Structure 1
Amino acid sequence: MHRRSAKDETRPRPRLLYYAMYDPTAQDSAPKVRIRLLAEALAERADLTVIWGSRGQRLGPSLRWLRRQGMGSVDAVYVESSTSTPMPYDLALFAWARLRGRPLGIYFRDAYQLFRDLYPVTARRQHLADLAWRLTLPISRHLATVRFVPSAGLARVMGLAEALVLPPGTDPSLPNLGLGPDGPLVAAIAAPTPSADIRLLLQAMAIVRERHPDARLRLIGRFADTSKWPGWVEIMTSDRTGLAELLRPASACVIPRRRTPYTDLAVPIKLTDLLAFGKPIVATATDASRAFVEDPDAVLFVLDTPEDLAAGIVRVLDEPALAQTLADRAR
């Protein structure tokens, strides 16, 4: 727990408890990056008291803050929820905020638990976690005076009436990388799951290499076993601070999401960073991504087939004017 403040202003600054259910110390995932960036932005506008951490990290700071400062020291509470279930002490803190008359804004991050046909679970522990999420969602929904969501679609499936859309953001100070040097290097910030996205990208790149035999794929992420992958795939790992240098030489950046009922609702957070980096982007055309990108010339959207994704990548590699337009309009 710590307190952040920025320059004094003539009018009283609001006092905000910023409660985040992740430890953002290591900037190695999208939610952690979001939490830190949002904290820095809020500190410019409010006197910020921050409590953040994993399940085992939040309880102690919360109890100490309640004992030493308490709800009387803040005007409102904002919560960055995790993708999993809030703990009982989280819900108790939220209820106490309401009892003390404090506005409570909760950011409902995700709802993949409602799409287990797409993201199946097998372990008993995972089934119990899903059940707990379904039981606690209505409680959080009821306690929140303001409900924030990444997209209107997610608000709809979670039953969040009058929700405010708070889409993914990024750091405006990120370097403008622009076009990469000559050479067909394609880059993607990727995760091992869902595996269908990776298969789509590998299949597309195999087609790209029929036209550009020297094309290479740089995957930035953590993958356990890549021993059977083609030699033209290189795996690199980095937290957010190293992304710029890994993406800089890329001629195109790709977001290969299979279109599903879930991906049509959720905006990939990596999209905002790639736009801020000013890279030519080829992305599969999910409803959420297309709605998020207002400029039709900022991203080359394609269908979610290997052939269409490959055709989009080839266009960026073969058409310098198109690549330059995408890079320019991304920023």
Structure 2
Amino acid sequence: MKTVLLYYPFQLAKNANSGSKLRPRKMHEAFLEWGKERGIEILLLSGQSKDRAALFEQWKSEGRLDNLLFCYMENQTIPFWLTDSGHIPKQPFVDSNVMSFLRGKNVPVGVFYRDVYWKFDELYPLKGAKKALMQFVYRMEERFYEKYCKVVFLPSDAMGSFVDINLPKVSLPPGGTDRIPGASNGSVPGEPSKAIYVGGINNEDYGLFLLLDALEKANADKKVCDLTVVCREDEFEKLPADKKERLERQGVAVRHVSGEDLNDLYLEMDFAFIPRYKSTYNDFSVPVKLVEYLSNGLPVLATNCSAQEEIIEGGGYGLICEDNAASMAAAISRMTGETGKYRENIKETFIQNHSWKARVEKVHESLTGGGGL
């Protein structure tokens, strides 16, 4: 039986409460579905380095790695050598042993390289000698991938120029649900539209208060949009009193929900916001919330950060504005009358082009040319 190896050199999170924790699980599930349709066994090699080493040796002795089509690997925000508990590797050579074995069998390997925040001084928190040491280790990780991989998978094409790995770079579909909900329970015709913002509220870069400026302008003559903000409760408690007062003054509903409660809230909405300020980093990153919004059938009004703009405009999934209040206010007024057509576009093409299964298909195509089945 032909097999595909998923290599995650880290412990899968039990509580997948963020995009970085959810993605490996969703990819595994999508690979299992894809493999079942094609009669291909999917082997997941993950966990602490000691566990990976033991399972790798077991599978080798059992011959389960003798007929591999390809290997899909993921990295994390820290180099894979440091992903064991306490950041001290118990089996420091297991990763090179696995990759050497695959190279010896001419098995193509592709790695999803999720982030390069460590290359941006304003984002990377370490300073001084610790920063220099960690950045050296990150560069070692890049050389490791260059040595053993065939393809580097990225969240967006725009990120490619920041990845110093001399290999073909392929952007993957963002990965969304295969089950977009039907009709929403949004606003009543003639009433203000209902919109939602989910995310951080204590970082200016996220643009919540830019959004409030725009909303104030859009609602000046006639209220066209009601806003619900979903954030962590502890973040809201830390918000300065004047900003809390502003939320209250503008009639913003603040909720602290997640999981199914959040999915239920999405059903009440007409569209969603991603008001991030445009920057070099934001231009190439793909917000997890963009995928979540679209997976719930919600059109998106977002700023013109390149990667999110490409997805939204490319699929006709919403509107793009500049990162200033006047441009965003105009887009809000326009969006309130156009959500229907964007919802239809999401239903028609989002699953086909951007689902987790579409992501798996892109990995397969990139590593094998679509052959080997």
What TM-score results when the alignment is normalised by the length of structure 2?
0.73
Paired residues for 1:164-313 under 5 Å: 164-178=170-184, 180-182=186-188, 183-192=192-201, 194-197=203-206, 198-211=208-221, 215-222=225-232, 223-224=234-235, 225-226=238-239, 228=241, 229=244, 230-231=247-248, 232-239=252-259, 241-293=260-312, 295=314, 297-313=316-332
| RMSD (Å), alpha carbons | 2.8
Give secondary structure in 2 for the equivalent of 1:69: helix
Amino acid at match of 2:299: P
Partner Cα separation in structure 2 for residue 274 and residue 69 of structure 1: 40
Paired residues for 1:70-85 under 5 Å: 70=60, 72-74=63-65, 75=68, 76-85=70-79
Aligned residues: 311
Q: Is this contact kept in 2: 1:176–1:276, CA < 8 A?
A: no
Q: Is this contact kept in 2: 1:299–1:330, CA < 8 A?
A: no
Structure 2 gaps, min length 5:
82-91, 348-373
Partner Cα separation in structure 1 for residue 169 and residue 209 of structure 2: 35
Partner Cα separation in structure 2 for residue 21 and residue 206 of structure 1: 46
Which residue of the partner structure matches residue 32 of structure 1? 21
Give secondary structure in 2 for the equivalent of 1:199: helix
Distance 1:280 1:153, change over 3 A: closer
Distance 1:148 1:26, change over 3 A: same
Partner Cα separation in structure 2 for residue 307 and residue 210 of structure 1: 12
Q: Is this contact kept in 1: 2:301–2:318, CA < 8 A?
A: yes
Moved more, 62-71 or 106-115: 62-71
Q: Is this contact kept in 2: 1:178–1:328, CA < 8 A?
A: no
Amino acid at match of 1:226: L
Partner Cα separation in structure 2 for residue 195 and residue 94 of structure 1: 43
Which residue of the partner structure matches residue 146 of structure 2? 141
Give secondary structure in 1 for the equivalent of 2:281: coil
Distance 1:122 1:25, change over 3 A: closer
Give secondary structure in 1 for the equivalent of 2:73: strand
Partner Cα separation in structure 1 for residue 158 and residue 218 of structure 2: 34
Give secondary structure in 1 for the equivalent of 2:317: coil
Structure 1 gaps, min length 5:
1-11
Between the two structures, name the one with larger relative contact order (CA 8 Å, sep ≥ 6): 2
**Alpha-carbon shift at residue 170 of structure 1 (Å):** 0.8
Structure with higher helix content: 2
Distance 1:36 1:122, change over 3 A: closer
Give secondary structure in 2 for the equivalent of 1:169: coil
Partner Cα separation in structure 1 for residue 315 and residue 43 of structure 2: 40
Amino acid at match of 2:254: E
Q: Is this contact kept in 1: 2:177–2:295, CA < 8 A?
A: yes
Amino acid at match of 1:73: R
Match of 1:157 among 145, 156, 162: 162
Amino acid at match of 2:43: T
**Alpha-carbon shift at residue 146 of structure 1 (Å):** 2.5
Q: Is this contact kept in 1: 2:56–2:98, CA < 8 A?
A: no
Which residue of the partner structure matches residue 49 of structure 1? 43
Partner Cα separation in structure 1 for residue 220 and residue 131 of structure 2: 42
Q: Is this contact kept in 1: 2:196–2:271, CA < 8 A?
A: yes
Q: Does 1:112 align with 2:117?
A: yes
Amino acid at match of 1:31: S
Distance 1:47 1:213, change over 3 A: same
Q: Is this contact kept in 1: 2:218–2:224, CA < 8 A?
A: no
What is the identity percentage for the equivalent residue pairs of Structure 1 and Structure 2?
Answer: 21
Distance 1:170 1:21, change over 3 A: farther
Moved more, 213-222 or 164-173: 213-222
Moved more, 210-219 or 107-116: 210-219
Per-residue CA distance 1:36-64 (angstroms, 9 max, x = gap): 22111211213122234xxxx52232022
Give secondary structure in 2 for the equivalent of 1:210: coil
Which residue of the partner structure matches residue 328 of structure 1? 344
Q: Is this contact kept in 2: 1:108–1:147, CA < 8 A?
A: yes
Which residue of the partner structure matches residue 333 of structure 2? 314
